[in-house]
Chain A
Amino acid sequence: MTILETKKLGISFGGLRAVDDFSISIQKGQLYGLIGPNGAGKTTVFNLLTGVYKPTDGSITLDGENITGKSTIEISKAGIARTFQNIRLFKNLSVLDNVKLGLHNRVKYNLLTSIFKVGSYSRKEEEMNKIALELLRVFGLENEAQLPASSLPYGMQRKLEIARALATNPKLLLLDEPAAGMNPNETAELMETIKFVRDEFDMTILLIEHDMRLVAGICEEICVLNFGTVLAKGKTSEVLNDPRVITAYLGE
């Protein structure tokens, strides 16, 4: 079953063609890698998929629903969640509250009941606490629930960002350079976490990564971007041995 399909996706900033003719198709439960040299347009693709940028051409289909040109909020509700290259947690909020923000649209209660603390308020807050703590437990963060997010060590912040994204109940999870700034041990642990998320939540994951060990280790298929266009795509091992890909990465 296809979860994400982009057809001839493209965007121009003035005269600059940042992404052109980007077509991929990701199946349910797949771990898909998006790689390419710096400035190739990888994060731009993420911004197109999440509605931060509106595509100038092409279409995006998520689980059969056309989400081209929709707003960030609509796309979040449709089921795409992401993490960021430079971690963007809500630093002044607690670890638990960060995850509860991901639940914002899943649990609803009336504004007035929250002021007067009556009716559905306590029940719904409790429900949110339960779901959020459950998610934190999966990532081994339950003991840090009440700490401010900024006090967590780097690797845990990465995990928290993934937990927060999962809280929105996505169909597709986008990870933007999850291993950035991590040492080999942390990267190895992260690979396990990503595989675990895929299996445990039956999640489809699209990730951008420079760490080739991580990409080769967990991605079933990859797509190589260069100067905004698809250089190669397909099975990871085949693509990584493609001479054109090696040239793009290492030069002539």
Chain B
Amino acid sequence: MAELHIIGQIVKAIEFEEPKLFCKWSIQIGSSWKVVEGESEGQTVTALDRLEESSTFAHPIDVHLGTRGVQGWPKIHVEIFAVNAVNNSWPVGFGFIHIPTQPGYHLLEINTWKIAPYTFLDKLRERFWSGGYTLSRSDLIYSGTERYKILTKSSGKVLVEVMLLYRNFAKFGVEFK
């Protein structure tokens, strides 16, 4: 059994239009992987920056994964939600990225997208009222060939810093570099 330690933090979300954001994150793994210790999902604080257009979370991630095979390499999945003055929240960004395959320190920039408003009324609603649409089935993000029918709009970026420790991969003939 090989092991992977992911130690790091979700640093901040930048280039989003909305100021007050929180992030729901999760680590998606294939069937040969297993979470041994730590939380593989969570939600950050709701953050606002006084000067810049960014939201700083500084949310710690510490996960210990065990695996029986290299397939199903883990991915980090983030969903950024915006909060308005009356505490309604709606998603303004979905994104995911593979965990890097080399041990060491990495700064990952996850590009996110949100569901684009279709009609003019939707656009007004998104701007002034309760926000945009969300996905009715979250597995639409992962499934295959019909994805071009989902119309999305590019959104901001989420910066995640991870330090990866590998164990026993070389013993099973796996090479990274």
B is a partner of A: no
Interface residues of A (CB under 8 A from B): none
